[in-house]
Amino acid sequence: MQHWELLLFFFVIAFIYASVGFGGGSSYLAILALYALPFKELRLIALLCNIVVVTGGTILFVRNHHVNWRKILPLVIFSVPMAFLGATLRIEQRTFFILLGCSLLVAAVLLWSRKRHTDIPAAGAPDRATYAKDGFLGGGIGFLSGMLGIGGGIFLSPLLNLIRWDNPRKIAATASVFILVNSISGIAGQLLQLPPGINFTRILLLCGAVFAGGQLGSRLAILKLDPYMIRRMTAVLIFVAGIEVLYKHLV
Query: What average pLDDT does the chain have?
Result: 81
- Virtual torsion, Cα 80, 85, 88, 94, nearest 10 deg: -100
pTM of this prediction?
Answer: 0.81
Please give the residue that has the higher pLDDT: either 154 or 179: 179
Residue 19: the pLDDT is 73
Residue 118: the pLDDT is 46
Residue 197: the pLDDT is 75
- What whole-number distance in Å separates Cα of residue 96 and Cα of residue 81? 20
pLDDT tens for 118-139 read: 444 545 555 566 778 888 999 9
Taking the CB of residue 56, how many other CB atoms lie within 10 A of it? 15
CA dihedral sign of residues 213, 220, 167, 56:
positive
Residue 235: the pLDDT is 78
- Least confident range from 43-47, 81-85, 206-210: namely 43-47
Q: Where are the domains of the chain?
A: 5-250
CA dihedral sign of residues 229, 98, 51, 9:
negative
pLDDT tens for 139-152 read: 999 999 888 888 88
Residues above pLDDT 70, as percent of the chain: 86
Task: Band the pLDDT of 220: cuts 50, 70, 90.
Answer: low
Task: Read off the amino acid at residue 232.
Answer: R
Residue 228: the pLDDT is 67
